[in-house]
Structure 1
């Protein structure tokens, strides 16, 4: 931008500057309470150093006491604990804070009672330090204090306490003592920002460890309130937990939410309602009459999974719906219920609605049977409507399909034909002789298409007898056959196939590795097998195996995999690093995602930016910390994410980064400030225009215009 243009631009933004003058002050900095942490001491057990620090701790000079309280933690010497505990009564809060921190770093359980008393301190930062120290010690003896801290008046103390409880749940997965935290964790779900995220992840960890515990029901009120959350990750988490708990109180609220426009959230709702089983049937049947199509379709979908006979009549009533999604989902649900629905479907063939007659014909065709064939034959000849007659003819053709013809179709050159034949064979419940013929088709010299179709059919049958021939097919030379075999094994879900599935993780074809990881997700994985997956990430294995192991660990979503996956982020192979980054994203560890912002690998950084932006407000606090990183890539990426989240809390730090020595950081900070459109940034942005290059000037100009537009819009609203 030339200087005359620049002056013109400044003139145009004068009004913006004047309006925002009240916001131009720089907020005061926050002093860190561990200012005197000092350099790490020499070897533990240095008696001379210890004696000197103990004397300093008794000094009348407050600076000496602060320094000693901090450095005693560096020595990790348990003999310092009694004196540090005594120091907790020091009148200087900095001394007290440093003593708490040192007790946490020494990490001995004998300090726990004293640290728990600090949870009653009048200063929130002292209480926060005490929580952090209890987290570092990592003992169940501190659990009661952490549970108490979940009710602290300060939400940051509550959030840190939830995080500490989550760490205990990871460390002691079998401990039922952690169930005491369920009710207070449920209350955190209605909090703000990082609090509800930490509460949700801690509660999920405990629920995964104790899925059948009745104590989980104590979290239901908080989970139901959290369904108003706009964050899709937290919303899905609450929905899935409610499905796991199976409390009847959750059913009406889950049904009410079926009108959600987000497909993956709606899918979670359906799955959770299906988990509730027969208890949900009456309410779901009522929901079929909803005027909102998504609610009716979602209820039909869930009823199709439950397969309760009570749902047949209301589902049949939807076959004539002009909402295609509703009538289609009802048809599929009735097809899943099968033979018990046939009498009601035969009655529907007499409906005055032609759409109901046509859909009833198609469902009868998928169910089959002599009664269905006779009725369809009559409709195909006698129905007054041509569309219904054609529907009946197509259904009759499918209904009377012979087993030999279906077996022949498994080898068709078209994948759609093979898949349709496989599904139909799965629905027929074939006899042992036909099953044997399908299994034999998996072997050579049958063509690849036939072997692939046979694998599909065995998966649709869902019979455990199919596991052995499908496992053998994992060695097939054709990748499509291996993929179909893995999909089939995933549908059957027999855990005896786990060792062979783990071998498929080192397949040269990434699609095969991906299908193997998805199949493992549906199996019961033993601790030994999980340990094997972790060991597969070691550098002694092939790159394919390491990448496959990372994929599988991501699908399993066990937080214990985080350290190994974090280490895999340093792998020399790009595919391994990317797989590890995607796995960590699935586990949704914000701290690690934030750390990934500084990766040298662009694909890893991009994935981290995308996932953190998707998490939303829960990621703001760690992202603000990332703005202080010594790594410029981390600062730049964190600024970019904060601009996408648009949280005003980021404005002061983003303003400071307008003077960062790295141009990419300055550019992203300016862009983020423009997205947030907070008038506090106006003066700093205008000042930055004078010293920046053309590229960043253009970004700043757009940012100032957006702030001006935002102010104009606000004034217009106030005037109305």
Structure 2
């Protein structure tokens, strides 16, 4: 037996206390476990009271008991939990309510929730919000909420509750707060539920509109369609301007959005975030058409953080072209997104405000994204000489990067900035590396004779490897400036084989561009230099001196001359344009690879004896469309009058439909010279109906008053309905009032074909004489259904809105 002193020492020992606590817990656990089975007895009240008295410590065991096989234990466990009011019991109790089929258990759970009061309502409402929960289970949860507690619910929670109960009439009374939950109900598989939700939304009316319109931007296509059907049934006059705009733009009614004016802008900007591409495009188009009205809101939006639409808004500002947008676009040049920066740069160019130039140069031209830099360079070129001062300052600034200087030099050359000649000359003479080479080329692009002496001066060190590229660019530049002062220096390079072949070739090309015919002998001598032979041949051609033909043909006939080299010689002979090369070129046409350059050259030389050979290639079925087109152009170039007759002959006799189409397309390019031979041909026997129709189609394309009288005569005499039809169509395009009476006769003639009467109506509308309007209107009542239908469509097409199609 323990002594009293031993007991005191036990009390002072905390370790013993810990053991005592554990013993106490075990005893309590044993007691609770002993009471749980008694919940299934016929007299469970004492066990219920004891468990409730113990309190929250029993919750875990009672929650487990909710799954017991004995329904009495489940029922009484729920009763205990309701009285204990432990929060962690709410979720298990809801699960029992939804899954337990025993009526007494369900009733016990409902009473438990009633005892818990507001503590249980929040999680119950939250569960009711879950889309995945079946309506039957939702109703069970809702039925468990005590009606006495409804007064403290928010309107949104009350709507969730009433919807779960199926009380749609109560949802209608709640109004706007119920709308989001009713919209969710629209997309359920239950058709009856959907119909009730739709009816309720229509009853709510104006309070539902904004939420319904917002739903149009959902990615759920089925829900969008249902919502649109509901909106279509509503009174559009009740819509707020922004809702009306979003509704219109979703339906593609751009004009109606524009009619709303300023009140539509914010909604159109919002619509640019819509997941539907067509809606975004419609919104962009509407904003562009609103023009300056939309600019303030777009500027405001560009200052925000919606990067998704910033790039598109920048494009719209550029298309509108309002200078108020310049500052905002300049700010966009610093945006994090490359697309926004690119679009801002393009729009600044479109607006064309000089303020943008320094920012494009100092920001966009230095952008970390190569695409932005390249685009900005192109934009600066398009902006022209207005950017020259800013670019010159970059070249003068020692802090500017090499890349920025190089781009500036290129742009100055391409915009032909005369003001930059001095600084570019200085860079070419004293600069280093690539920059001085680019400067030489830019001086050529500008084409100022002021730079000639400096360009000539750098040729002296072009023999050195370090200076050849600058010398090469300077040579090209001298060719572009095309001043005879450069000729002796270029000849010197041409003759001296100590220069690189690339530089000698560039000198030959430059001499060709300068076109000083006195250099022909030097060029002829240089033909012997095989390394630059191609460039020399090209230069002789550009020179245009007939003295070059003979030496060129000499090379042409050499056995080792390649086909590409022969093609180049043919091209040069064509450029010279002298008859003495004709036979050689005709002879070369037998080689397929030389046909195209040969035909082009013969077209330039214009000797008529080449016509048969050109026609032969034109007839050849193996000739492709490009070659045939080239043949036609050559024939026209050689002799227009002769080629017309020749081409007419081909049109009459050839069965190649593609060739016929090419000829028909080519005739109008020759102008009114074709009228007489065409009319003469049309006055002949019309056995070949298709030929006559094609000739009329060509005359139609000329739209010349000169054909009207003859075509009228032909139309009155012809017995072919299709020929008459082509002439009627031609009259509509020519728009000559001299045809009007004849067209009226055809329109009024019931014996004329429907096709010709329709063509006559169309042509009379095109001619546009007001005095015939009453007669034209009568066609709406014509006995011919085809004419009647056609006239209706014709009037609608030219903007007569009162004409409506009658229903059969």
TM range (shorter): 0.3 to 0.5
More RCO (CA 8 Å, sep 6+): 1
Q: Over alpha carbons, which structure has the higher Rg?
A: 2
TM-score of the aligned structures, taking structure 2 as reference length: 0.37
TM-score of the aligned structures, taking structure 1 as reference length: 0.41
